[in-house]
Amino acid sequence: MKRIFLLLFVVASVPVFAQHDPYMCIIPAPVSVKKAKGDFKLTSETIVLADSPSNRAVKFFAAYLKKAGLGNSITDLTILDKDHRDMKNAITLSVNFKGDQPEEGYELNITPDHITINGRNAGLFYGVQTLMQLIQKDGNGNATIPCGYIKDYPRFKYRGMHLDVSRHFFDVDFVKQYIDLMASYKLNNFHWHLTDDQGWRIEIKKYPKLTTVGSLRAQTKIGRAAGVDSELYDNTPYGGFYTQDQVKDIVDYATQRYVNVIPEIEMPGHSVAAMAAYPELSCDPKKTYKVRETWGVSEDDVYCPTEENFKFSTDVLNEVMDMFPGQYIHIGGDEVPKDAWKTSDFCKQLIDDRGLKDVNGLQSYFIARIEKYVNSQGRSIIGWDEILDGGLAPNATVMSWRGETGGISAAQQGHDVIMTPGSGGMYFDHTQQKSPQEPFSIGGNAPLSKTYAYDPLPAALDKEQQKHILGVQANLWTEYIATPEKAEYMLLPRMLALAEVAWTPLANKDFRNFSQDRIPHHLGRFDKEGINYRVPTAIGAMDTSVIGARFKVELSSPVEGAKVYYTLDGYTPRETDVYYTTPLDIIVPPKNTMHLKTIVINPSGKRSIVTDMKMENK
């Protein structure tokens, strides 16, 4: 506990749902926003005009309006004469406007009579997302949109969010909701971690045992990795996988939302589930392998770089490439313990035959061969930064997760890079606050502020090298995330910080404005939509010890519609306690100690952790 010596302690507070927010509560903050007076009233009479009615963004908006009960008829603008194009109470979505715009950029103009969005491809879609964020519904089904003019485009072209479905499986509906969330915050690459030691989750027709055997584990470790905390298991079989039809459905769903899906098929490490199904993929086929029931890196069980294995891996990749039309295939490459290779006669011979230096050279040989095949099919590989060991495959893109070092070195070698450093707050399996009240997690601490502060462009790179930084991604590893509710809790609100890191120009980033003026509004919406998230602690609440006789404390709610309850009697606050309405003036008698404890409880009953400000008057 920090000890702060103060006599009078004042916490500045701000009106939470600031009408005066310069960014109109939009996340990620746009490049430029000019607010104007008045509102556009969105009713079931509002007409939507489009010069490209079959465009994905237009269809998406029409579906949204229909669901919201706000009409859905789209009128083809091109068949209207000039006079009708400026009709009142209309929204125009246009791809055929004059002039240029940055990639994925849009312009949105809202006046009391008319709304226009100009944008091409993803740009129009992002203009629609911004417009949807601006819609304010009242209880009577009426909707208004504040007037303004927005010009916007992204800082980075790669804006990614990862989901590990191997350690725990998440069903099709959840994955679609994840993609929806990504799209509404202008993230455009969904990295789907489909295979790992603990489960193979994608149907491969040529190798059915990958799912009949490889998707099932007999039980799951309770608590941390075996040997760390305990040797307790839940004695409950666990499994799940996606059929090829389900995968195609998800890819199509994502495409409609301008989200590219990048499948990850791990090799040569993190492959125990595949070897449980097909032991011949290993260097020791006589051994029995079982789908891993605990976490951490499998000591020595990795693929053997045999011809048989290359045949298997390329067969699998063929089916994967049929399901995923995007440019990138992620082939893993991380955490490959090489003990099995060191003791294998086959590997020793191969190292000699190919004139390789050592087992690292073998890893590099493995990845380069896979890359050559993927490239021959017109695609590109991404690998975790370990693919740098022993030399990078010629065209590979590197995902830098062990800090930025790997990414910096890859960019210096002229390779494309995606930054996703755990040390930069990009690991959403880390906790959001160091507190025993937070749910069990893998360790590490990545509070919202840390994620928000990350800048993917390392100063160590010159301007030319920086061009290789395609963008940024956050990862949700799920060893300790077994339910959709917990996945949402770990994801939100940090994913909104990621969106701003990836999209917003540095000059427009402002954590106070983001966390206090804009986040509360978005969390209030999640609540209405039934999406779980971590309820932040009250704005202005301290969780530390302070010394003094009198404390003035101003608090505000971090969630629109939520209340801040508090106690001064040492008890844990709950909904039966008083809630905050006006600033507190707390007087601590001499030689006494008081506690100000707060909790935030939102309309659906979700609660924050409890803060405890210990006030001592010595």
Catalytic residue list: 196, 270, 335
For ligand TNX, which is the closer residue by CB, 312 or 384? 384
Residue 428 interacts with ligand TNX (CB under 6 A): yes or no: no
Do 540 and 573 meet the contact criterion of CB atoms below 8 Å apart?
Answer: no
Residue among 490, 538, 544 nearest 516 (CA): 538
For ligand TNX, which is the closer residue by CB, 404 or 429? 429
Which residues does 513 contact at the CB level (< 8 Å), separation at least 6? 21, 22, 23, 29
Which residues does 79 contact at the CB level (< 8 Å), separation at least 6? none
Q: Minimum distance between the CB of residue 429 and ligand TNX, rounded to whole angstroms?
A: 5
Number of residues near ligand TNX (by CB under 6 A)? 9
Residue among 361, 372, 365, 364 nearest 395 (CA): 372
For ligand TNX, which is the closer residue by CB, 226 or 442? 442
Q: Minimum distance between the CB of residue 494 and ligand TNX, rounded to whole angstroms?
A: 14
Residue 427 interacts with ligand TNX (CB under 6 A): yes or no: yes
Residue type, 164: D
Q: Minimum distance between the CB of residue 496 and ligand TNX, rounded to whole angstroms?
A: 21
For ligand TNX, which is the closer residue by CB, 108 or 329? 329
Task: By CB under 6 A, name the one of 125, 401, 454, 526 that touches ligand TNX.
Answer: 401
The 468-497 site mask, x for binding ligand TNX (CB under 6 A), equals ---------x-x------------------
For ligand TNX, which is the closer residue by CB, 185 or 401? 401
Residue 21, helix vs strand vs coil: coil
Report residue 166 as tokens: 């191997």
DSSP string of 338-385, one letter each residue: -HHHHH-HHHHHHHHHTT--SHHHHHHHHHHHHHHHHHHTT-EEEEEG
Please list the residues that pair with 136 across neighbouring strands: 144
Residue 429 interacts with ligand TNX (CB under 6 A): yes or no: yes
Please list the residues that pair with 149 across neighbouring strands: 34, 109
The 325-344 site mask, x for binding ligand TNX (CB under 6 A), equals ---------xx---------
The 359-398 site mask, x for binding ligand TNX (CB under 6 A), equals -------------------------x--------------
For ligand TNX, which is the closer residue by CB, 39 or 334? 334
For ligand TNX, which is the closer residue by CB, 215 or 431? 431
Residue among 122, 113, 124 nearest 47 (CA): 113
Which residues does 519 contact at the CB level (< 8 Å), separation at least 6? 27, 448, 493, 496, 536, 558
Type and span of the H or E element at 474: strand 469-474
Dihedrals φ, ψ of 422, to 5°? -60, -35
Residue 442 interacts with ligand TNX (CB under 6 A): yes or no: yes
Q: Where are the alpha helices (DSSP H) in 402-462?
A: 405-412, 448-453
How big is the chain by its Cα radius of gyration, in Å? 27
Q: Minimum distance between the CB of residue 427 and ligand TNX, rounded to whole angstroms?
A: 5
Return residues touching ligand TNX (CB under 6 A): 334-335, 384, 401, 427, 429, 442, 477, 479
